[in-house]
Structure formats: structure tokens, C-alpha cells
Amino acid sequence: MSEIVIVGAAGWAGIELVRVLVAGDVDFRVISHSDDGARRLRDAGARDIVRADLGQPGTLVEAFAGVRTVYAIPPTLHPREDDLIIDAARIAEDSGVVHFVYHSVMHPHTPFLRNHLRKARVESMLHSTRLKWTIVQPSVYAQVLIAMFGDHHAGAVGVPFDIDAEIAVLDLADCAEISANLVTQPASHEYATYELAGPLVTMRQAVAALGRARGVDLQPQTVRVDRGPMPAADKSSEAVADLISTYAHYDRHGFRGNTFVLTQLLGRSPRTFDDVVGRHFGSATTAERHGQVRPNHNGDRHVERN
């Protein structure tokens, strides 16, 4: 019987976590509400797949039976994501779950961003439960930026916010490494809230890194916020509005954070956007070409920072 269950496992963050747990030979269960999600999870190596739906809370009762730790990732830009996760947390509490890990967002208490405030509401609710909770607050994923801007041909690349705004960019693999530790060593992380801010990068720098990796000349330029790419918006008007407000916030304020907590949890320097781009496109980063790479304690390559 699996003592760990991942809710929202079929998305980007969930799939990466599944791969890390599979590689570590960890026994765990995943929840999927669709055939397509179940297929992605099987392809990632998951074996214990339970059909359940956050929108039908009763289906979670069986999925949480005998489980000690729940790792909950909300559906991206869902207008009721707070209600869905709160219902899941209440069922977990009633089912005897001990530890509830919530995958939130960096800077959840940002009044301008409705999608962040929904996560802040979940965080507040968890504080009032009997559950032993852990909250992770990741910044922007490097892989999202690659998906948004990585397939452009040479020439102009439209960015829906100031191309010189500083954005904390997190490698999904770094996030998954930490998440796996939270669910396999829960006692060390009870009642902790961790801001996972990746290294700062501007879109001018990010687009340049993508161009170097692909061998093309990419020229970033700021476009209107409503002209930007809409990943994961699913054509929902609410999701599109949330993305537009997010872009507008980045345009005015950037999305900055400090890497100290992330570095401490990893036990090494976090991967930069250049590192992730190099891995994604199979090209070495500048540091790798100059031999400034050493393995870390997990056997991954680590780039020394001067």
C-alpha cells in the first residue's frame, strides 16, 4: 500500500516529481482524472494510478485510504483551484492523512494577481487544520519560458512584458528534487514554508540564451500583454485574464526572489536558465565548456559559480 499520493501528478511539475520518485525506487500513488493523464503518468514510470477527480471530492476518499503524505498540485489557472485543494485537504484530514504538502506559488499574497490569492487562501486554510503541512512556493519555471519562446525562428520574439524586468526562474528538475525530499523525509519539513526562487534572469538574457542554444539570432521585443503567448490557458476567459494580469505585474515589478532557501534545500547552487536551456537543447553552457562543472551529491552536473 502506497503511503504517498500525488494529486495533480499529470502536469509539468507532477510528471517531473514522478520521474524523480521512480528513479529513487520510491513507492507512491498518483491520481489522474483522465485517460490522457494516466497515459502520461504511465510513460513517466508511475505504477499505482488511481482514477479520481478533484471536482468530485468523494472520489478522493478511496485514493487517500492508508496514505500518510499527500502532495497536492493545483490545476493551472483553474478559477476554483482554491476550493478544489481545500476540499482535498479536508478529506485528507478526515482520512487520517498525517502530512499535506501544498504546491503553491512565490509571492502568493499579491493583491493584483487573483491566481496567486487563490493559493494564499489554501495556505491560510492549511494553517488551521490538524494536518502537518509543508508549503512550497516555486517561482516561474524555466521550462515554461522555453515552451513560450523556444521554437521561434530567427528574428523578433514578442515578450508580453518588459524584456529587462528581472524574473526568478526555477528549473523543474530542481523543484522536483526538493519535492521528492519533502514526501520521503516529511518529519524534517513539518510546518515549513519554502520560497523556491530560481536565479534571476531577464527576457533579454533568456531569449539570447535560447538563440545561442539553437544557433539562431533571436531579438526580443516587448509587446502588449494581451498579445503574448497563453500557455495552459485552455481558452478559458478567466485563465486568459489571469495570465494577462500576471504579465502586467511582471512588466511593472518583475518577479524577484532570493535563491538562499532553494540553495540550502538542494545542497548546491540551483541551475540557471542557461543550464536548463543547454540541457534541453543538448548544448553545453559556457561554464561547462570551460570545465567548471562538478557532480553534486545526487550525481547531477553542477556548475561552479565564481
Q: Where are the alpha helices (DSSP H) in 96-223?
A: 114-127, 142-149, 172-184, 203-214
Taking residues 80-102, what's their average pLDDT? 98
Pairing status of strand 132-138 against strand 99-103: parallel
How many other CB atoms sit within 10 Å of the CB of residue 43?
11
Question: Predicted confidence band at 230 (pLDDT cuts at 50, 70, 90)?
Answer: confident
Instruction: Quote the mean pLDDT of the chain.
Output: 91
Pairing status of strand 99-103 against strand 69-72: parallel
Taking residues 169-187, what's their average pLDDT? 98
Quick one: pLDDT at residue 294? 33
Distance of CA 51 to the CA centre of its chain: 23
- Could you read off the pLDDT of 267-291 as tens digits, one per residue? 999 999 999 999 999 964 444 433 3
Taking residues 53-82, what's their average pLDDT? 96
Quick one: pLDDT at residue 260? 98
Quick one: pLDDT at residue 232? 59
Determine what percent of the chain is predicted with pLDDT higher than 90. Answer: 85
- Say which amino acid occupies 121: R
Instruction: Report in angstroms the alpha-carbon separations of 14 from 43, 164, 173, 203, 282.
Output: 13, 31, 11, 26, 23
Give the domain ranges of the chain.
Answer: 4-138+171-196
What is the pTM (predicted TM-score) of this model?
Answer: 0.90
If residue 50 lies in a helix (H) or strand (E), which one and from where to where? Answer: strand 48-51
Quick one: pLDDT at residue 151? 84
- Has domain 4-138+171-196 been given CATH number 2.60.40.3080? no
Residue 237: is it exposed, middle or buried by C-beta count within 10 angstroms (0-12/13-18/19+)? exposed
